[in-house]
Amino acid sequence: MDNYAVRKLKEKIFLSFAWLALLLTAIILVVILGQVVYNGASAINIGFFFERPAPPGEPGGGIGPGIQGTVVLMALASLMGIPLGIIAGIYMAEFSESKLASAIRYFNDVLTEFPSIVIGVFAYTSIVIFMRTFSAIAGAFALAIIMIPIVARTTEESVKLVPASIREAALALGIPRWKTTLRIVLSTARQGTITGIMLSLGRIAGETAPLIVTVGFSFFYFGGFDKPVAALPLYIYTFAISPFESWRSLAWGSALVLVIMVLVVNIVVRTITRQKYR
Amino acid sequence: MVRLMDIGLERLKNMTIDMAKLSENTVSTAIDAYIQSKDVSGEIHKWSEELRILQDEVSELAVEVIARYQPVASDLRFIRSCMEISYGFSRFGRYAYDISQVLGTFGDLSKCDKSLVKKAGEQAKEMIRMSIKSFTGRDAELAKKVRNMDSVVDEIYLQGVENAAKTRQDDFKCSVSALLILRYLERIADHATYIGDSVVYTITGERSPRK
Amino acid sequence: MAYKFEVEQVDAWFGAKQALKQISMKIKENSITAIIGPSGCGKTTLLRCFNRMHELVPDARVSGRLLFDGQNIYDDDVDPVKIRRRMGMVFQRANPFPMMSIFDNVAVGLKMNGVRNKAKLREAVERSLKRAYLWDEVNDALDKSGVSLSGGQQQRLCIARALAVEPEVILMDEPCSALDPTATAKIEQLIMGLKEQYTVVIVTHNMQQAARVSDYTAFLYLGELVEYAETVPLFENPRMELTEQYITGKFG
C-alpha cells in the first residue's frame, strides 16, 4: 500500500514536469509568434505587398521584390534540390547494403551538419566568382545544397518503412523494379517524403547567411536568373539593424510575411498531396 | 509424442478386441451346442445383442475421432477398419444366434450326421481366431491366409447343398438343418475373410476385391 | 494431359545454405497442387522459384531447369519480369497497396504495363473482382481504400489483383494463414473455381486445407521432395514413412 502511494506520487511529479516542459515550449512559441504578429501587422497594408522599399527615412514602401525573390529562390532551389534529394534517398534505402550507399549516407549526414555560411561561400566561389555577379541562380544553388540532405534522409527513412511485402506484391505482378520503386514504393512513402520536403522548405525559407554571399541585395523586382535578386531574410536582416524607424517596421512586416508564407506553402502542399485514404 | 487422437484410437482398439473375444466365444458356443444338441439360444441371444450394441458404440467413437481429429493415413485406415471389423463381429453374433435357433425349430437332431457341420465349424472357428489374431497383432500375412481358407468352407457348404438335393424323405430334417447351419457358417467364414481384408488394408493401404 | 511446369533437379540456396535439394516434379495444367511440409522445409522457396522471386533475396540463387510450357525460365535470355507477368502470386498476409483505391489495386498491374483505356480497365477490374468473389461486396465502394476492407476481403482483393493481369498460373503462399475459418472457407471455394482457367500451386501449413482443395500434394522435408502424389491416395495411404509421420502429426 505504502509502495503504491509512493509510486503514485512519483508519477504525479513526473507528469507535472512533462506538463511544465510543454508549457515552456508553448510559451516561447506563442511569445515569438505574438511579437511578430503584433509588430508586423501594423506595418502591413495593400501596398506593402507590391511596393518596393522606400528610401531610408521615408515612410511607407513595401517588400514586393523580397516576396517575389523569396518565391523565385525557393522554387528554383526546390527544382534542383528535391529531385536530387529524393533520388539519393531512394538509392540509400533500396541499396542500403552497398558501399556507395553508405558513402552517400555518410556525406549526407556531414552535409546536414554543415554551417550554411560555408555552403554559401562554396556557391560564391564556384558560381558568383565565375559569373562575376551575384545571381538568383547562385542563391538557389546554395539553398538546394541545404535542402538535399534533409530531403534525402527523410526519403530514405520513409522508403525504408514501406513493408517488403508491398515491394514483392508489385514485383510479382511483373512490374519492373524501377517502376516498382518510383510508382509503388515512393507513392506508399509519400507522406514521409513530403514531410521531409516541408522541413527543408521551412529551413531554407529563413536561411540568410548563404544568401548574403550569393544573391547580393536588391530593391528591385526579379530581372533574370543571372541577376541579383531580393529575398525576405535579407530584408529582415538589413532593415532590422538599420537606424531608420520605417525600415525596422518593414523588417517586422517581412518577418510576418515569411512566417505566413511557410505556413501557406505547408498547408497547400499538404492539401494537394494529401493521403487519399487512411 | 502422444497425440490426443491416440487416446481415442486406443479405446477404439480395445472395444474392437472386446468384441473379438465375445464374438469368437459366441460362435464356438453355438456350434458346439448344435453338435452336442444343447439349447443355448437364450445365452447366445444375449451375447449377440451385446455385440450389436458394442458395434454401435465403436461406430460412434469412430465418428467422434474423425470429427475431432480429422485423421489421415494409417490412422484413417485403422478407424475405417475398426468400423468394418466391428460390423463383422456383430454379424458373427447374429449368425451364431441363427445357428442356436435351428435346434429349437427342428427339435431333436441327436441322430443326425453332423460330420460336415463339425468340419466346417472347425474351419470357421479357426478363421475367426486367425482374423482376430491378425488384427491384434497387425499381421498382414496372417490376415491374407484367412482369405485362402474361405474356399474350404465354401466347398463343404456346396457339398451340403448336394447332399440335401439327394436326400431321402426320412433324413429330411437332418439335411435341411445341417444345410442351414452350413449356410450360416459359410457367411461367418466370408465375414472372417473381410476382417482379414480390413486388417490388410489397415497395414498396407491395399484393398482386396470383395467376393 | 499437358504439363504446365516441369521441375528438373532444381537446387536453391540462400548464400551457403541450401534450401532445396534436387527437386523434380511435373505439374499438370488446370490442376491444383498443394505443397506441404514443416516450417523451414523449403516449400515457400520452391513456390518462389516458379516465378523467379527467389532470386530477389540478396545472395539467393537457383540451379537446375524449371520448364514453363516447355521453356526453361532459368535460361540466360529469359526476362524474369516477363515470366512474373504470366503468373499471379498471392502472399501469406494480404498486402494491398495502401495508398490506392480498391479499383486501382486491381487495375495497377495493367496500368503499369501500359493499359490506359478506361473502359478496358473498368471491364478488367469488374471481371477480376467477380472472379475473386468480391464484386458483390465492394462494387459500390471501388474508390475506397483497399486497406479499409476486412482481412479476408483484402486477401480476395489481392487475388483479384493477381487475376487482373490475365496470368496462366496462380501461386499462393499460405494465403489463409492469417484468416478466420469463414474467410478461409471463402478463399478455398474460390481456389477450387480457379482451376478451370488457371494452374494453381498453393503452399500451406494446413494439411486439412491441402486435403480439401488440391488434386496433387507434394510433401517437402528439409529441402527434399519426399513424396508427390494425388492428394487422396497421399492422405489415405502415403508411400513414404516420413509422409505418414508428418501428416498424422507424429512429428513436426
C232–chain B nearest CA distance, Å: 10
CB C179 within 8 A of CB C155: yes
CA-based torsion, C119, C120, C121, C124: positive or negative = positive
pLDDT over 70 (residue A278) = no
CA-based torsion, A262, A267, A269, A270: positive or negative = positive
CB atoms within 10 A of CB C207: 21
Which of these, C34, C47, C54, lies nearest to C243 by C-alpha position? C34
For the segment A22-27, the average pLDDT, to the nearest whole number, is 95
C interface with A, Cβ–Cβ < 8 A, is: 51, 53, 56, 58, 81-89, 91, 93, 95, 97-101, 108-109, 112-113, 144-145, 147-148, 158, 161-162, 165
Question: Is B touching A (3+ C-beta pairs, cut-off 8 A)?
Answer: no
Q: What is the pLDDT of residue B170?
A: 65
User: Under an 8 A CB cutoff, do C145 and A278 touch?
Assistant: yes
Nearest CB among C208, C235, C251 relative to B73 is that of C235
C162–chain A nearest CA distance, Å: 7
pLDDT over 80 (residue A1) = no
Q: What is the pLDDT of residue A274?
A: 67
DSSP C145: B
Note every long-range contact of B172-178, with CB atoms under 8 Å and residues 24 or more positions apart, other chains counting: B173/B106, B173/B107, B173/B109, B173/B112, B174/B109, B174/B111, B174/B112, B174/B113, B176/B106, B177/B102, B177/B105, B177/B106, B177/B109, B177/B112, B178/B112, B178/B113, B178/B114, B178/B116, B178/B117
Beta strands at C60-68 and C3-14: parallel, antiparallel or unpaired:
antiparallel
Interface of B with C in 104-163 (CB under 8 A): none
Domain with C28, as residue range(s), is 1-79+201-252
Between CA A177 and CA A181 the distance in angstroms is 6
What residue ranges do the domains of chain A occupy? 69-272
Give me C217's grid cell.
500434394
Between CA B21 and CA B13 the distance in angstroms is 13
CATH superfamily of B4-204: Phosphate transport system protein phou homolog 2; domain 2 (1.20.58.220)
Give me C129's grid cell.
473482382
User: Under an 8 A CB cutoff, do A277 and C101 touch?
Assistant: yes
Beta strands at C216-221 and C32-36: parallel, antiparallel or unpaired:
parallel
Q: In Å, how far from its chain's centre is CA A119?
A: 15
Q: What is the pLDDT of residue A81?
A: 94
User: Under an 8 A CB cutoff, do A188 and C165 touch?
Assistant: no
User: Under an 8 A CB cutoff, do A275 and C99 touch?
Assistant: yes
C184 assigned to some structural domain? no
Q: What is the 3-state secondary structure (H, E, C) of chain B?
A: CCCHHHHHHHHHHHHHHHHHHHHHHHHHHHHHHHHCCCCCHHHHHHHHHHHHHHHHHHHHHHHHHHHHHCCCHHHHHHHHHHHHHHHHHHHHHHHHHHHHHHHHHHCCCCCCCCHHHHHHHHHHHHHHHHHHHHHHCCCHHHHHHHHHHHHHHHHHHHHHHHHHHCCCHHHHHHHHHHHHHHHHHHHHHHHHHHHHHHHHHHHHCCCCCCC
B129–chain C nearest CA distance, Å: 27
C242–chain B nearest CA distance, Å: 12
- How far is the first Cα of chain C from the last one, in angstroms, to the nearest whole number? 35
The amino acid occupying position B5 is M
- Collect all residues of chain B within an 8 Å Cβ-Cβ radius of residue C236: 72-73, 76-77, 205
Q: What are the residues whose beta carbons fall under 8 Å from the beta carbon of C19, sequence distance 6 or more?
A: C12, C13, C42, C45, C223
> For residue C218, what are the β-bridge partners?
C35, C228
CATH code of C37's domain? 3.40.50.300
Average pLDDT, chain A: 88
- The pair phi, psi for residue C23, each rounded to 5°, is -80, 125
What interhelical angle do A136-161 and A64-94 show, nearest 10?
A: 40
Distances (CA, A) of C70 to B4, C2, C3, C27: 47, 10, 8, 12
Q: What is the pLDDT of residue B171?
A: 73
Q: What is the pLDDT of residue B169?
A: 64
% of chain B at pLDDT higher than 70: 97
Between CA A225 and CA A57 the distance in angstroms is 31
Between CA C140 and CA C221 the distance in angstroms is 46
User: Confidence class of residue B211 from pLDDT cuts 50, 70 and 90?
Assistant: low
Question: For residue B202, what is the nearest residue in chain C, using CA coordinates?
Answer: C237
User: Under an 8 A CB cutoff, do C108 and A173 touch?
Assistant: yes
C202–chain A nearest CA distance, Å: 15
Average pLDDT, chain B: 88
Predicted TM-score of the model (pTM): 0.79
List chain C residues with pLDDT less than 70: 1, 252
Give me C16's grid cell.
551457403
Q: Which helix (H) or strand (E) holds C148?
A: none
Which of these, A84, A50, A9, lies nearest to A257 by C-alpha position? A50
Place of cell 520448364: C67
User: Under an 8 A CB cutoff, do C247 and B73 touch?
Assistant: yes
Q: Per 3-state DSSP, what percentage of chain A is helix, strand, and coil (rounded to 5)?
A: 75, 0, 25
The predicted-structure confidence for B105-114, as pLDDT tens digits, reads as follows: 887 777 777 8
% of chain A at pLDDT higher than 70: 97
Nearest CB among C97, C109, C113 relative to A188 is that of C97
User: Under an 8 A CB cutoff, do C161 and A175 touch?
Assistant: no
A192–chain C nearest CA distance, Å: 13
- Collect all residues of chain A within an 8 Å Cβ-Cβ radius of residue C147: 277
Around A235, how many Cα atoms within 13 Å sit in the side-chain half-sphere? Answer: 33
Interface of B with C in 52-111 (CB under 8 A): 70-77
User: Under an 8 A CB cutoff, do C248 and B75 touch?
Assistant: yes
Using DSSP's 3-state secondary structure scheme, residue A260 falls into: helix
> For residue C71, what are the β-bridge partners?
C68
C236–chain B nearest CA distance, Å: 4
What interhelical angle do B4-35 and B73-106 show, nearest 10?
A: 20
Nearest CB among B70, B73, B204 relative to C208 is that of B70
Place of cell 517502376: A179
Give me C53's grid cell.
522471386
User: Confidence class of residue B120 from pLDDT cuts 50, 70 and 90?
Assistant: confident
Between CA B154 and CA A212 the distance in angstroms is 118
C33 assigned to some structural domain? yes
Between CA B92 and CA B94 the distance in angstroms is 5
User: Under an 8 A CB cutoff, do B73 and C244 touch?
Assistant: yes
Q: Which helix (H) or strand (E) holds C31?
A: none
Nearest CB among B3, B72, B206 relative to C235 is that of B72
For the segment A124-144, the average pLDDT, to the nearest whole number, is 90
CA–CA–CA angle C170, C172, C175 (5° rounding):
135
Question: Is A touching C (3+ C-beta pairs, cut-off 8 A)?
Answer: yes
The predicted-structure confidence for A191-250, as pLDDT tens digits, reads as follows: 888 888 888 988 898 888 899 888 888 888 888 888 888 888 988 888 888 888 888 888
- Collect all residues of chain C within an 8 Å Cβ-Cβ radius of residue B206: 237
ipTM: 0.89
For the segment A184-194, the average pLDDT, to the nearest whole number, is 88
Q: What is the pLDDT of residue B210?
A: 67
Using DSSP's 3-state secondary structure scheme, residue C60 falls into: strand
The predicted-structure confidence for A224-240, as pLDDT tens digits, reads as follows: 888 888 888 988 888 88
User: Under an 8 A CB cutoff, do C112 and A179 touch?
Assistant: yes
CA-based torsion, B112, B115, B120, B122: positive or negative = positive
CB atoms within 10 A of CB C119: 7
Q: What class is the A69-272 domain?
A: mainly alpha
Q: C247 at the B interface (CB within 8 A)?
A: yes
Query: What's the total number of domains in chain C?
Result: 1
